[in-house]
Amino acid sequence: MVYPLLQLTPFDEEACKVHGFVEMYISCLLNANRLIEAKTLVLAMPIPEIPPSLLSSVISVADALAKSGDVKGALAITDKISFDADTMSAMEDMMGLLATLRKCGATKECVVWYTKLGNMEGNPFKSECVLWMVYCDMQLGNKMSAEVYLSSMKVERSEEAFSLLQMIKGMLKATAEKPNFGEALDLYAEGIVFGNLSSPWMPELLYNAGMAYKKMGKFVASNEIFLQIAALYPDDPLAARGQKEIVKIEKKPKKVVDEDDEDYEDDEDYEDEE
């Protein structure tokens, strides 16, 4: 059995040769969808002391649990995770786990983690952590706090996090007491232009842009964006949500100016139906 080996996982691999075996066992459990056993195994490990390679395996179990609906089990594992300079290589996996937990509604818990990681020196995702902390704060209704943080943040256009910054700024405009969808759309557009399609927040950025267009009555543009999300990110939940936002557009008959002029169409020659 693998369980007697778990207490040896904090030791150097050269000394005990158990890390690879434990990683393989966890991987097999996940592949077999034996999540309860994987959770039990991981919670029996001395998580704060394990090396980065094993920490990534632990994070993968928490992520799988959250995606299966067991958010409580995922948080039980997450609460035992700690980061320092030695485990920084697992930070990308941690960011993925937090994204999953955030989408599952664990916003309050994510605020704590993003704040902690955003204050960690040497974190390559420092800017993203701070921005996601602001995002979660905004979702919890603390818009004033979010605005204060954003006003002091400086993110260069060359940084991947710039598009995330523009998305959050746009969301503040769109959800203000008096929403300004035009200004929100300008911010979203800038984020899209300077962003990266592989960024984990890009589906949401595109979705927000589509909704801004729809609120402004520009249904052709909003429909195109929702279709683009479905094509680029078919497995993202926002793809299905976007499909439900598509407006049926019926083309009006062409207008004839006079006998000598050709038929023409303009931007208003459409009727829309929800």
Task: Give residue 271's domain range.
Answer: 154-274
Same domain, 163 and 141: no
DSSP class of 171: H
Strands 270-273 and 248-251, sheet pairing:
antiparallel
Same domain, 159 and 232: yes
Same domain, 182 and 112: no
Query: Please, what is the Cα angle at 87 between 197 and 31, to 5 degrees?
Result: 65
**Structural domains of the chain, count:** 3
Q: What pLDDT sits at residue 18?
A: 72
Q: What pLDDT sits at residue 266?
A: 46
Asked whether the predicted pLDDT for residue 54 surpasses 50, the reply is yes
Q: Give the number of other Cβ atoms within 10 Å of residue 111's Cβ.
A: 20
Same domain, 172 and 115: no
CATH number for the domain harbouring residue 224: 1.25.40.10
pLDDT (average), residues 146-174: 93
pLDDT single digits (tens) 184-207: 999 999 999 999 999 999 999 999
Same domain, 94 and 111: no
Same domain, 119 and 33: no
Same domain, 27 and 92: yes
**Are residues 70 and 39 in contact, defined by beta-carbon separation less than 8 angstroms?**
yes
Same domain, 236 and 192: yes
Three-state SS at 255 = strand
Same domain, 23 and 62: yes
Same domain, 144 and 186: no
Q: What is the pTM of this model?
A: 0.84
Which segments of the chain does DSSP mark as H helices, in order? 13-16, 19-31, 35-43, 52-68, 71-78, 91-103, 107-118, 126-139, 143-152, 161-174, 181-193, 202-215, 219-232, 237-244
Q: What pLDDT sits at residue 4?
A: 53
Asked whether the predicted pLDDT for residue 269 surpasses 70, the reply is no
Three-state SS at 251 = strand
Asked whether the predicted pLDDT for residue 3 surpasses 90, the reply is no
Ranges 5-14, 26-35, 179-188, 264-273: which has the least confidence: 264-273
Same domain, 169 and 246: yes
For residue 98, give the nearest of 128, 127, 63 by alpha carbon: 63
Residue 12 binned pLDDT confidence (cut-offs 50, 70, 90): low
pLDDT single digits (tens) 76-119: 999 999 888 888 989 999 999 999 999 999 999 999 999 999 99
How far is residue 19's CA from residue 22's CA, in Å, rounded to a whole number? 5
Same domain, 127 and 168: no
Three-state SS at 68 = helix
**Are residues 214 and 223 in contact, defined by beta-carbon separation less than 8 angstroms?**
no
Considering the chain, what is the average pLDDT of its residues? 88
